[in-house]
Amino acid sequence: MLPRTQELNDWTAEKKCRKVVENLCKKHFTAVYCATAQVAADYIMKEAASAQSIGFGGSLSVADLKLTTLLAEQGKEILNHGFPDLTPEQKVAVMKRQQTCDLFLSGTNAVTLDGCLVNIDGNGNRVAAMIYGPSKVIVVAGRNKIVEGDVMDAIRRIKDKSAPPNAMRLNKQTPCAVTGFCADCDSPQRICHVTTIIDSKPTLTDFHVLVVNEDMGL
Q: Which residues pair with 117 in a beta bridge?
A: 111, 198
Give CATH for domain 12-212: 3.40.50.10420
pLDDT for the residue 21? 98
pLDDT for the residue 3? 87
pLDDT for the residue 2? 74
What pTM was estimated for this model as a whole? 0.96
How many residues does this entry show for the chain? 218
Tens of pLDDT, residues 131-173: 999 999 999 999 999 999 999 999 999 999 999 999 999 999 9
Tell me the pLDDT band of 124, cut-offs 50, 70 and 90: very high
109-127 average pLDDT score = 97
Strands 194-198 and 53-56: unpaired
**Is residue 82 packed enough to be buried (19+ CB in 10 Å), middle (13-18) or exposed (0-12)?**
middle
**64 contact partners, CB below 8 Å, separation of at least 6:** 37, 216, 217
